[in-house]
Amino acid sequence: MTPSAISITNVTKSFGEKFALRDVSLELAAGTFNVLLGPSGSGKTTLLRCLAGIERPTSGTIAIGDQVVCSDQVLVGPEKRHLSMVFQDYALWPHLTVRHNVGYPLASSKWSKAQRSARVDDLLERVGIAHLADRYPNELSGGEQQRVALARALSADVGLILFDEPLSNLDADRREQLRIEIATLTRESGATAVYITHDQAEAFALADRVGVLRGGQLVQFGTPEQIYQRPADAFVAHFTGVSGEFDVEDFERRSDGLATLTLPFAPEHPIVACVPQPIDEGARASLFVRASAVRISDDCVERGLHGTVLDAAFTGRGYEHVVELAPRATLTKVFSETRYERGAAVALQLDPRSCFLMSLENERK
């Protein structure tokens, strides 16, 4: 099946007076892996369900490939959109065995019975549950059930696969393992993927393109690098993972595109940061510091910020520290291969490339 490009134009969805989506427009290239990222209530599930055809948008147009599947005049049923989906609760049919669950989408294909059976066997083998083919869903673990759901979604050889937070019910170990399998198998299939999650690490690990949603609106859409390095606003910067966020006392734009700023608790230590979006002189602003920007040392005569270690957590390859710079001003996830004990005085150097000066003037409440 040829992968499908997706075109979402001015899609709005309301439930009564509550808007779940507001005027969302998005173009997804064929064969790409796209992740919609956002907190609860941001509208990502609704957008996915509109794509699937389970919900009908209040207004707007959705096209899958060359076919308009939803507009004011057109509504194509889910079964005619040539897509498949992995549900958050897996949605496996409890009265069907694993084999029949996986083979379900093939029933409407033109394949012979033998071909269908071979396809199911192949998929079960690839997701590692061939030995469970004759079991029923309630005889499987959560990870095994999710593998069945993944195999079912892959079985029909469709141009578009949707993932509705498929890993949210799994433990960390299984999540990591299945994330890799989803990424590999989906890319092997060649289909366009739309995957929703509230976990930025998962989003960045999987995506070719990430769309960040907030309050039913698409805030930013781009590559993971673009999202991470040039967040569209304070919300995106915050939601995609920061080590610390501080009110800025004063700042000054520089000719090289950077800015020099001071923090209220350390006016004697000016900090240099990127300015990813335009910001007016004198605007209310915050400094967002990515974890990767921070270098920790115990050389307290060094220039830079100074703080006290509150906590140190062993992560296997090193230690993540929480450092207090001032009351109610902390940096988290400060990595070092060596451990700094709780209460130790430390110095912190910040890499300007991963520090963002962001305006709070347009921040939506």
Interface with other proteins (CB under 8 A):
15, 20, 45-46, 49, 52-56, 75, 77-79, 81-85, 87, 89-97, 100, 104-105, 107-108, 136-138, 142, 145, 152-153, 156, 162, 169
> Closer to other proteins at the Cβ: 35 or 83?
83
Task: Please report how close the Cβ of residue 175 comes to other proteins at its closest, in angstroms.
Answer: 16
- Which residue do the tokens 């100074």 mark? 306
Task: Please report how close the Cβ of residue 176 comes to other proteins at its closest, in angstroms.
Answer: 21
Task: Please report how close the Cβ of residue 1 comes to other proteins at its closest, in angstroms.
Answer: 12
CA dihedral of residues 34, 40, 221, 156 (deg, nearest 10):
20
Task: Please report how close the Cβ of residue 346 comes to other proteins at its closest, in angstroms.
Answer: 41
d(CA 120, CA 113): 11
DSSP-derived pairing of the beta strands 192-197 and 33-37: parallel
Helices (H), the chain: 44-52, 98-103, 113-126, 142-155, 172-189, 200-206, 224-229, 234-239
> Closer to other proteins at the Cβ: 56 or 364?
56
d(CA 343, CA 307): 9
Classify residue 274 by its DSSP letter: B
> Closer to other proteins at the Cβ: 119 or 321?
119
d(CA 271, CA 248): 10
CA quadruple 43, 49, 51, 54: dihedral sign: negative
> Closer to other proteins at the Cβ: 153 or 322?
153
> Closer to other proteins at the Cβ: 136 or 335?
136
Spatial CA neighbour of 244 closest among 321, 179, 154? 321
> Closer to other proteins at the Cβ: 77 or 257?
77
> Closer to other proteins at the Cβ: 159 or 224?
159
17 burial (CB, 10 Å; 0-12 / 13-18 / 19+) is exposed
Phi, psi of 181 (to 5 degrees): -65, -40
Task: Please report how close the Cβ of residue 77 comes to other proteins at its closest, in angstroms.
Answer: 7
Task: Please report how close the Cβ of residue 109 comes to other proteins at its closest, in angstroms.
Answer: 8
> Closer to other proteins at the Cβ: 170 or 271?
170
Task: Please report how close the Cβ of residue 309 comes to other proteins at its closest, in angstroms.
Answer: 36
Q: Which residues pair with 63 in a beta bridge?
A: 7, 68
Task: Please report how close the Cβ of residue 9 comes to other proteins at its closest, in angstroms.
Answer: 19
Tokens, residue 23: 């005027």
In 29-134, where do the E strands start and end? 33-37, 59-64, 67-70, 83-86
> Closer to other proteins at the Cβ: 138 or 315?
138
Classify residue 317 by its DSSP letter: S
d(CA 356, CA 318): 26
Tokens, residue 270: 């000016």
Task: Please report how close the Cβ of residue 223 comes to other proteins at its closest, in angstroms.
Answer: 28
